[in-house]
Structure 1
Amino acid sequence: MDTGKELIYRLYIQREEAFVRTDIKREFSRYEDIKNGDVEKVKENFKEIRKDFFKGKGTLSKNPLRNCMYHFVVSVGVIARICLNAGMPHDEAYTISDIYIFAADECKTTEKIIDLLEQAHIDFATRMKKLNIKNNYSVYVRHAIDYIYDHLHDQITLEQLSKNENLNPSYFSKIFSKEIGIPVKSYILSVKINTAKNMLKRSDYSISDIAFSLGFSSQSAFTAAFKKLTGKTPAKYRKELSYIAPF
């Protein structure tokens, strides 16, 4: 593809129309806020972005919806790579990006795509905020958190976590509770229930399948734990979600 003539033509049109692209420093300042996990600043930034979404952006397609979609893909792709470079796990960064791009492909209006982009900005910022907090934990606690997320299908115990770090269970429990703010058992349960909530929302797995995939001894044990933390049974939680759009 010979871009020479097209480049000359487009630059001429842009000069004639007094088109000015978004300042790169300002753009990356906004990405920096996402990387730093400054959720409130990210929300404020997007209010400005939303006011004139296409200002300073090139035309990537004659089709308005497709043009918006392409800008969405570029933005989410850049954010994923910035967060990856700042420490977000490789698979997590790219998979979140995939999820949002897949969802955007289902949107029927530019307004829906812009709404979804705001959610993506906030989602990445929220995850980076948690990651930045995690990086301040001791190596023992960071290892424990990673182990918990990698073994959600198991019945994880304090003894196993402390053994992994060659520490006395009582001593490890004190370190974990001091840094995280809640006991090990409560943290494990909260992670499993939050994962279950996402599975109930995003998948068609049965409640019993979710229960056993998260290491619960039975569906009734899972239901009791879920209700204790959310105030609802898994069935009621899923039923209520059926009336809400997934994004």
Structure 2
Amino acid sequence: MISKNKSINKKQLEYMAFINKENEYRHHTYDEEMLQYEYLKEGKIKAIEESIKMFSSSTVGVLSDNPINNIKYLFVASITLATRFAIEGGMEPETAYNASDLFIQKIDKCKSTNEVKDIHTEMFTFFTKHMNELQKKNIYSKPIVLCMDYVYYHLNEVINVTKLAEYVDLNPSYLSTLFKKEVGITITNYIIKKRIEAAKNMLKFSDYSYSDISSYLSFSSQSYFIRVFKNETGLTPKEYRHKYYRISFD
């Protein structure tokens, strides 16, 4: 295979094409791959079950001399696309990214190619079923998905309607109305809920102090953080940590 210290050149590309041809390996066409992820995005469970067989084929390209590493690399590429298509289809970015992380952690522990294939099937099934359920509900429009994505990645910063409106190039008043209509709560309440969800995880799985958590998640003061946290959960941060600290989530 290619040395990690050398740049890829034309000759190496030609050699890889030769090896893939000799061993009857092939990369699936762009249309084949996109169709698979469109099935996922549209929540077509039966169609995805058929297309999953594509991944099990022995005629895929070689990314590593090690068979297990090879299929793991393919899985990571696959779940990256699956995650993006799911988000485009209306899945909350936070849900999609967290699911992606968990599946990658699972395949990292795999000891055989069959284990990876099973988890790949599980991953596609999870996303497709989730999208199927979304099809039965109201799917979020692109501006709303972009706002959710922005909130997810900027919880430690000051976020407001004006900033989000600039990000999605919409009038603040119109965005506020659209968000409330599609999501069912105001943008401000959505941001608070996501910050409280993040705070809950930090309380459960870290030793950060209450003041550190409050500051990191951009609450105006520790007292405000405690008040909002209790309003959302019924418990103070101290009570929540005492009840749930490091409880296993396996």
Q: TM-score if structure 2 supplies the norm length?
A: 0.53
- Structure-2 separation of matches of 1:148 and 1:78: 21
Unaligned runs of 5+ in 2: 1-10
Map Cα deviations across residues 70-105 of structure 1 (whole Å, 9 max, x no partner): 212332455577789x699xxx9xx88995797367
Structure 1: state its 5+ residue gaps. none
Aligned pairs for 1:77-226 (under 5 A) are 78=81, 99=101, 103=105, 106-109=108-111, 110-111=113-114, 113-114=116-117, 117=120, 133-135=140-142, 152-153=155-156, 176-197=179-200, 199=202, 204-206=206-208, 208=210, 209-214=212-217, 215=219, 217-218=222-223, 220-221=226-227, 223-226=229-232
The code of the aligned residue for 1:217 comes to Q
Alpha-carbon separation, structure 2, partners of 1:226 and 1:115: 38
Q: Which residue does 1:67 correspond to in 2?
A: 70
8 Å CA contact retained: 2:103, 2:119: no
Q: RMSD of the alignment, in Å?
A: 5.4
Cα 1:11–1:174 change in 2 (3 A) is closer
Separation in 2, partners of 1:62, 1:200: 43
Q: What is residue 29 of structure 1 aligned with on the other side?
A: 35
Aligned 8 A contact 2:140 2:182 in 1? no
- Displacement of 1:67 in angstroms is 1.8
Counterpart Cα distance in 2 of 1:5 and 1:154: 49
CA separation of 1:175/1:28 partners in 2, compared to 1, >3 Å: closer, same or farther?
closer
- CA distance in 2 between partners of 1:175 and 1:52 (Å): 39
Q: Per-residue deviation at 1:150?
A: 6.8
State the aligned residue count. Answer: 217
Distance 2:78 2:213 in 1: 33
1:11 is aligned to 21
Distance across 1 between alignment mates of 2:75 and 2:86: 16
Post-superposition CA distance 1:93-135 (Å, at most 9, x none): xx889957973673232355445545765569979x79x7132
Task: Identify if the C-alpha distance between structure 1 residues 7 and 142 changes in structure 2 by more than 3 Å, giving closer, same or farther.
Answer: closer
**Distance in structure 2 (CA, Å) of the matches to 1:7 and 1:153:** 46
Q: Aligned partners of 1:150 and 1:2: how far apart in 2?
A: 38
* Alpha carbons of structure 1 residues 157 and 105: separation in structure 2 relative to 1, 3 Å: closer
Is the alpha carbon distance of 1:78 and 1:185 closer, same or farther for their aligned partners in structure 2, counting shifts above 3 Å?
A: closer
TM-score by length of 1: 0.54
Structure 1 Cα separation of the partners of residues 29 and 66 of structure 2: 25
Alignment of 1:37-52 (within 5 A): 37-38=41-42, 40-41=43-44, 45=48, 49=52
Q: CA deviation at 1:181?
A: 1.6
Amino acid of the structure 2 residue aligned with 1:29: L
Residues 207 and 234 of structure 1 are in contact (CA less than 8 Å); yes or no, is this contact kept in structure 2? no
Q: Distance in 1 between matches of 2:226 and 2:55?
A: 51
- Cα distance in 2 for partners of 1:56, 1:33 equals 22
Distance of 1:149 and 1:77 partners within structure 2 = 17
- Shift in Å at residue 21 of structure 1? 6.2
Q: Percent identity?
A: 24
